[in-house]
Amino acid sequence: MSDMTDTSGTSSDAPPDPAPAAATSSRDTGRDAGRAAGTAPRDAVTSPEPTRSTPAVAADADSAVDAHSVTDVENAVASDRVTDVESATDADNEAGSDPAIDADSAADAVTAGSGATPDAGRPGLLGRRRARRRVSTARRRRRSSALVMALGLLATGVLWSVLAPGGNAASTADSNEAVRQGRALYLQGCSTCHGLGAQGSNTGPSLIGVGSAAVDFQVSTGRMPLAAPAAQADRKAPIYSDTQIAQLAAYIDSLGGGPAKPEVNDKQISDADLAKGGELYRANCAQCHQAVAQGAPLTYGKYAPALTESTATQIIEAMRTGPESMPVFGDRQIDEKDAVAVAAYVKHLNKAKSPGGFSLGKYGPVPEGLLAMLVGIGGLLAVCLWIGARQKV
């Protein structure tokens, strides 16, 4: 009977106790959750293994362990999010990036830490990579901008050195000195009629914009300074030297520019086309200055002066500036080459000998006709009177 009792007490038909299996499962679940959170499982390790429990007790233990494990995992994920955001912010601050890049990096880090991307298992690494990528892009942009600016400055310097107008300090100093000396001469001898600023007055015209050619012509021919207002200034010996005339011309030219003094040399005069110059002179100048440049009277007490004493430079200056009643002949009417030809022709007339004998001052047909009438007709009358006187006797 005792054998039967023992055998019945340990019979295989009795249901197995589920408590050890539940405890073992609780320990495994707590250990896995502890590894995921980076900490040791607390309840699963420290709790003593129950020797025997009911299924209700095992279920309560599993619920407690799962709650602690989920809490630890959430805390670890939140910690990773904060770490990722701080890492991205520090990296952007060190690179000097702007707030827009910082905000994007932080947002990417938070999104990565929340598990919204396929790489949710590595949220910190993904955030740091994005932060480094944005910082690198910002640095490349700054370097590119600096390189473009440096190249632009270099190109500007090269172009300025190549295209800048020439000149040196010495020539500039000489020009400024000439202007200062010319202003002193102007204030002393010209400002009474033309004004302190060359703006003109009721006794003299403005000199602003007349150019150095007009000054050289008027002063070198002695017409200026004028002693008193008159219908026309006569030619006389100049009172200023060539250097002083150049200084006056430089000062007037600095006020507003104008026709420049022409430079004519002897070679240009000798190589000029005299035939072309004669045609231009007879077509444009002979009506006033006479056919052989001896001058002629005009209206209202004026006259066209003789050109016998005029230099080639003065003739061209008169053509370009139009003094007194003379019209202005610009470059479009008579170019430089033709102007030199006209000046050469006038100089030729002054040097040419008279092929008919006595030139009678080269005044043309009028004095010649007058002389013919006075001498010829007077001589005929004298002969007639002589014949008549002989017949009476």
Tokens of 119: 């790489």
Q: Which two tokens stand for residue 378?
A: 């007077």
* Per-residue buried b or exposed e for 13-26, using 16+ beta carbons within 10 Å of the residue's own CB: eeeeeebeebbeeb
Give pLDDT, residue 241.
Answer: 95
Residue whose pair of structure tokens reads 């002063």 in the numeric block: 219
- What pLDDT was estimated at residue 166? 56
Strand partners, 304: 296
**Spatial CA neighbour of 65 closest among 104, 108, 32:** 32
Burial 157-193 (b: 16+ CB within 10 A, else e): eeeeeeeeeeeeeeeeeeeeebbebbbebbeebbeeb
Give the pLDDT score at 340. Answer: 96
Residues forming beta bridges with residue 177, ordered by sequence position: none
What count of other Cβ atoms lies within 10 Å of the Cβ of residue 273?
Answer: 15
- List the chain pLDDT tens, one digit each, 393 residues: 334 334 333 334 444 444 444 444 444 444 444 444 444 444 433 444 444 444 443 444 444 444 445 455 455 544 555 444 444 444 444 444 444 444 444 444 444 444 444 444 455 677 777 777 777 787 778 888 888 888 889 989 888 777 766 544 444 456 689 999 999 999 999 999 999 999 999 988 999 999 999 999 999 999 999 888 888 899 999 999 999 999 999 999 999 889 999 999 999 999 999 999 999 999 999 999 988 898 988 988 899 999 999 999 999 999 999 998 899 999 899 999 999 999 999 999 988 887 766 777 777 677 778 888 888 888 999 999 888 887 765
Give Cα 360 distance to the centre of its chain: 65
Whether this model's pTM surpasses 0.75: no
Distance CA(125)–CA(122), nearest Å, equals 6
Residue with tokens 């599993």: 62
Q: What pLDDT is attached to residue 165?
A: 60
**Hey, what domains does the chain have and what are their CATH numbers?**
23-137 (no CATH), 172-261 (1.10.760.10)
